[in-house]
Structures are given as structure tokens and as C-alpha cells.
Amino acid sequence: MREFNNYLKIILKHEGGYSNDPSDLGGETKYGICKRQYPDLDIKNLTIEEASKIYYTDYWLKLNLDGIYDEDLKLQIFDMGVNAGIKTAVKLLQHIIEVTEDGIVGPITISKINSNYIDIVERYENARIDYYNHLVEKNPKLKVFIKGWISRVNTTKFEE
């Protein structure tokens, strides 16, 4: 079983360092932590240790990832939660496994995920790509991000 830090390394690789891209709806961002979501945080001076604590408490625990057996799926859910929000990440998953789409990883969702659901990782990756394409259809200004988003899905993998 991989530790949280193994997952976090991949997230941080995707998120990178400090940026303040005017096209990014999150605004000022560092290690994927954005000013819009954390308005009282000094984003520019955020440390990796502080970002790690945020990712663990505000993402990992809220996504209930310790309850999911499939490590590749856990990684995809974690990455999507970071990139598009927890509710979005979970609702995409719940749609695939055909449970109530409430955005909460509770016992029913966990049970269904862990019951050897066929092709769940591949289906989740495809749902992520569909989600990003739909975002761009709704808001063409986001087209600048689509290549990176799709690449992100395809590279959200553990190095073996």
C-alpha cells in the first residue's frame, strides 16, 4: 500500500510552482493551492509542507481515499479533486458506478468501488477527459488549458 506522499509527489509534479496566470480562474496559485480557494493564505510564500497539510486534510481525507483499494483509481480521484474540485471528482466517479451522485465518498460509494468494478480506472480517465472537453465547449477561453488537462489525465500514473 502506497503512502500519501507517493500520491502527493505526482500531484505536485502536475501543479508546479508559483503562477499568476490571468486565464486561470483560481488566480494566484502555488503547488496547486489557489488564492480563490484560500483567500487568507500567502500563496507566494506557501511552503511544500503547508501545501502537503492542505492536500491531506482538505482533499485526501475528504475524498475518503484510505477506503479505496485500487491505488491507480485513488490517484486519479485525488488528482481530479485537486484539479476540478472534490464534488466534481466524486460525482464523475459516482456516475460511472451508478450510485447517487451526491459528491460524497461514503460507505455505499466505497463498497461499490471496491467490489471489483470492471475497467473503472479507464472509465474514470475517459470521464475526466469528457469533463474537460465539456468545460471548453461551455467556455472557449479555457481552450488554452485543454492540452495540459488531457496530458495530466494521461500522466497521472505511478512510475513502476
In a domain, 5, yes or no: yes
pTM over 0.85: yes
pLDDT tens digits, 115-131:
977 899 999 999 999 99
CA 35 – CA 140 distance, rounded (Å): 23
Each residue's pLDDT tens digit, 21-61? 776 666 788 999 988 889 999 999 999 999 999 999 999 99
Angle between helix 48-55 and 4-15 (nearest 10): 120
What is the overall mean pLDDT for the chain?
92
Range of the domain at 118: 86-155
**Is 80 part of any domain?**
no
The x, y and z cell numbers of residue 112, run together, are 461499490
Tell me: do 130 and 90 sit in the same domain: yes
- 90 with 30, same domain: the answer is no
